[in-house]
Amino acid sequence: MNHDSYSDDYIREILNSVKTVAMVGASPQNVRPSYFVFKYLAERGYDMIPINPGQVGKSLVGKPFVASLREIDRPIDMIDVFRSAEFVMPIVDDALTLNPLPKVIWLQLGVRNDEAATKAEAAGIKVVMNRCPKIEYGRLSSEISWMGVNSRTLSSKRAPPPTMGMRLSLNRGSIGGGGTDAADRAAKNKNDIV
C-alpha cells in the first residue's frame, strides 16, 4: 500500500464498512481534536468507544471510557489513533491480540509509523496514516459543502468590480467610494502622525 496517497475509493470503502470504532487517546476536553472527531463520528451513527486510561469512570458524549483495547467487550472494526508515532507500535501489538482482528487501523493527522503499518498489513488489517476520518467523511459525503464551503461565501469566481457606494462584507464600503467613519478616522490619524 502506498501510504503517501490513498484513493477516494479506498477511504470510502473503509468509512462505509466500519461500524464500531475504538478511539485511542480520546479526550473529554471539548477543545481537543479527538473530542470533535469522536462526537462527529458518533453523530454519524458509528458505535464509538473512547480509550484513555486516565479517564476511566468518565464518559465522552455518553460513551464510557475504557482503559485499553483489551477491555472492549465487542468486536472492533476500526481503531482510530490519537497518539504520537512512538506509541503506535504498542497499539498495533495490542490490536493483533484481539479476536476477531480489527479491519482498519487509522492514524490521525500528523501520525505515521511505517513499521507498525507493515506489521498490521501483514496480519490483513488495512491502514490509513496521516488522515482524519472526520475530514474524509465530510469531504467524501459532500457534507462539507453543506457547511458553507460551497455556498458562494468562498468562490473561485471573479467578483464584479466594486462600484461607487457598493457595500461589501463587514458592512464596509468599496474602494470605489462609500467610505466608513472608521476608514475616515484611520486616514485622519495617519495624516496626523506624519
Output the pLDDT for position 9: 93
Measured CA to CA, the distance from residue 161 to residue 177 in angstroms comes to 12
Output the pLDDT for position 143: 72
In degrees, rounded to 5, the angle at the alpha carbon of residue 22 between the alpha carbons of residues 17 and 24 is: 135
Output the pLDDT for position 178: 45
Task: Encode pLDDT of 94-132 as tens digits.
Answer: 999 999 999 999 999 999 999 999 999 999 999 999 999
**Segments in the chain below pLDDT 50:** 149-155, 162, 166-180
Output the pLDDT for position 157: 54
Q: Which three cell numbers stand for residue 170?
A: 463587514
**Domain ranges across the chain:** 8-147, 164-194
Buried b (16+ CB within 10 A) or exposed e, 124-159: ebbbbbebbbbebbbbeeeeeeeeeeeeeeeeeeee
pLDDT averaged over every residue in the chain: 83
Output the pLDDT for position 185: 58
- Residue 14 near residue 128, CB atoms below 8 Å: yes
- Of the candidates 139, 98, 103, 131, the one whose C-alpha atom is nearest the C-alpha of residue 18 is 103
Output the pLDDT for position 169: 36
- Of the candidates 21, 45, 37, 23, the one whose C-alpha atom is nearest the C-alpha of residue 103 is 21
- Residue 120 near residue 95, CB atoms below 8 Å: yes
Which fold does the domain 8-147 belong to in CATH?
Rossmann fold (3.40.50)
